[in-house]
Amino acid sequence: MSKLQQRLMRELQQNRNIKIVKTAEWCIPIRTVDVTYEPVRRSTMDVLMTMLLLSIQEADFGNVEELSELLLVDPLFIEDLMSLMIRVGLMKNEEGFFKLTEKGQQQLEQGIFEEELEVEASTLYFSPCHQSFLTSDVNNDEYDELPELYRYVDKEAEQQEQFDESLIIAALQEVDKEDTGNSQRIIARVVEVEAQQINDSPCLEFILYDKEQDILFVRVWNMLLNQWDHCLEQQLTDKEQLMWREQYL
């Protein structure tokens, strides 16, 4: 018996009314999914950028010096900021004058500045049993030979290779967190999704009897998540509670 299993059994039996009537080990399939995506950095628009965009919206300016004189800001600061705004598509030079683009108008109204970043790549892990992405790495180092497959694996779902984009973005947002001050990275678009191999990830099952309440229930430790898995616990409770009573009581 593994040290982890022994530790969990001690934890579960801290309540003297709880008795472990059965333990089991099995695996859930985990699909590796490689994703490329476009992140953006979103921040509150600063005062100088707001004033520049408002000035260009209200009047025709053909050079940096005119804006510098109006806003009383060093031309170098104005030039650097305008170069950035042209690069990210907030404004353009049209017929000798600076003009706001539709994107620039929209961000000015929202007071939000979004800067597109380089395309990035990440590896996600999809569990057909959860119908969602799990955020830890697959790690089966403790096992020389993996246990049998979870008895309620949906074979059709196990072969799934197409994934809902909203699920992918939510999972990417979890692994791509960056929130500093008034700046935040968000996932703007999923570029490409490639389903790769399936790995088996172990879980530990404990069927428990509460003598005080006269009920049977299950706890499942998901070794991929390194925590109790309430989703799998609910699945087993829904499917097997009657059978447990007939078998163990």
* In the predicted structure, residue 104 carries a pLDDT above the cut 60: yes
- pLDDT band per the 50, 70, 90 thresholds, residue 210: very high
Give percent above pLDDT 90 in the chain: 43
148 with 185, same domain? Answer: yes
> Which one is predicted more confidently, 69 or 18?
18
Domain count, the chain: 2
Output the pTM of the full model. 0.78
- Please say which residue of 109, 129, 154 terminates a domain: 109
Domain check: are 132 and 66 in the same one? no
Domain carrying residue 95: 45-109
Domain endpoint, select from 94, 109, 124? 109
**Highest mean pLDDT pick, 56-65, 107-116, 218-227:** 218-227
Same domain, 26 and 131: yes
Are 203 and 229 within 8 A, CB to CB? yes
Taking residues 241-249, report their average pLDDT.
73
For position 143, what pLDDT does the model report? 67
CATH number of the domain that 64 lies in? 1.10.10.10
Residue 246 confidence (pLDDT): 72
Q: Has residue 181 got a pLDDT over 70?
A: no
234 and 179 both lie in a single domain:
yes
Q: Of the ranges 23-27, 217-221, 239-243, which one carries the lowest mean pLDDT score? A: 239-243
**Same domain, yes or no: 182 and 230:** yes
Q: At what angle do helices 64-71 and 47-58 cross, to 10 degrees?
A: 120
Domain end marker among 109, 135, 163: 109
Is 16 in the same domain as 123?
Answer: yes
Residues 153 and 204 in one domain: yes
Same-domain status, 104 and 126: no
Question: Same domain, yes or no, for 32 and 86?
Answer: no
Q: What is the pLDDT of residue 132?
A: 93
198 falls in which pLDDT band (50, 70, 90)? very high
**What tens digit of pLDDT does each residue of 158-174 get?**
888 889 999 999 999 88
Same domain, 81 and 133: no
pLDDT tops 70 at residue 140: no
Residue 61 shares a structural domain with residue 177: no
The residue that leads in pLDDT, 81 or 35, is 35
Indicate whether 53 and 24 sit together in one domain. no
Percentage of the chain lying above the pLDDT 70 cut: 93
Average pLDDT over residues 32-38: 95
Q: Is 81:53 a contact under the CB 8 Å cutoff?
A: no
Q: What is the mean pLDDT of residues 29-51?
A: 91
3-state secondary structure string, the chain? CCHHHHHHHHHHCCCCCEEEEEEEEEEEEEEEEEEEEEEEEEEECCHHHHHHHHHHHHCCCCCHHHHHHHHCCCHHHHHHHHHHHHHCCCEEEECCEEEECHHHHHHHHHCEEEEECCCEEEEEEEECCCCEEECCCCCCCCCCCCCCECCCCCHHHHCCCCCCHHHHHHHHHHHCCCEECCEEEEEEEEEEEEEEEEEEEEEEEEEEEECCCCEEEEEEEECCCCEECHHHHHHHHHHHHHHHHHHHC
